Amino acid sequence: MIEQENISNREIVLKLKDLHKSFGNNHVLNGFNMHLYKGENLVIMGKSGSGKSVMIKCLVGLLEADSGTISVMHNDITKLDQEALDILRADIGFLFQGSALYDSMTVRENLEFPLRRHTKKFNGHIDTEEMVVEALENVGLASAIDLMPSELSGGMKRRVALARTLILQPKIILYDEPTSGLDPITAKEIIILMQDIQKKYGTSSLIITHDVDCARVISDRMILLINGIDYAVGTYAELSSSTDPKIKAFFKH
């Protein structure tokens, strides 16, 4: 088991400690630990059904953990009331695996939707139109503003979803399988976009992926989630050169 003790003065923006989550007799997370530094790209890899999506959903309060602590920007989200959680959520962007665009709304309405509840974050000074256009320009889709999600390709949907994630100017972005279901070229475009956004806004990113190429390009650090625990932590170079058969299995092409 590789354990990297990264002694750093960097601020930790997100921390999970001894997280447990079960569904009946199916123990998905068995004491998972992780932390994310400010401005860092942390990739979490694991097999299908290993609990990656469950973990990320616990992180934003979509699922309730059985035990353990979840600290997001020094707030224990398990102890927050609904209002405080909603305010905190304005600082956490979430890119869903299937984009999760509201299909009864246009692209413009999709992007306007998160702004409705978070006017306080911008001290009430919101130029919705300007913010929507800027977010779409960031992902290179300003021309799609009045289209319906059904009129967009898979890659365009993912970009619009990313723009919707960005519109609240979050400090942390959680990516759930950002390249899954996309062709290699579009997947590469999405990875470049994620890097550009990270550079432009200095966000911290937690990326869940199966895509080894994505992990290689984007990760500062990686965690391998095996049997519900943080089995291995390290950089891509460290983990990919490991002799542990369980770790090696992830990097076989």
Dihedral, 102, 103, 105, 109 alpha carbons, nearest 10: 40
Residues 210-239, mask of contacts with another protein (x by CB under 8 A)? ------------------------------
In this complex, which beta carbon is closest to another protein, that of residue 11 or of residue 86? 86
How far apart are the C-alpha atoms of 189 and 167, rounded to whole Å?
A: 20
How far apart are the C-alpha atoms of 108 and 95, rounded to whole Å?
A: 17
Q: State which of positions 161-190 bind another protein (CB under 8 A).
A: 164, 168
Residues 14-53, mask of contacts with another protein (x by CB under 8 A)? ----------------------------------------
In this complex, which beta carbon is closest to another protein, that of residue 12 or of residue 100? 100
CB 210 within 8 A of CB 180: yes
In this complex, which beta carbon is closest to another protein, that of residue 53 or of residue 219? 53
In this complex, which beta carbon is closest to another protein, that of residue 44 or of residue 90? 90
Collect all residues with Cβ–Cβ distance below 8 Å to 29 and sequence separation of at least 6. Answer: 19, 20, 21, 22, 51, 54, 55, 58, 65, 68, 228, 229
Binding segment (CB under 8 A) for another protein, from list 29-37, 56-64, 190-198, 245-253: 56-64
**Could you say whether residue 103 binds another protein (CB under 8 A)?**
yes
- Smallest gap from residue 146 Cβ to another protein (A): 18
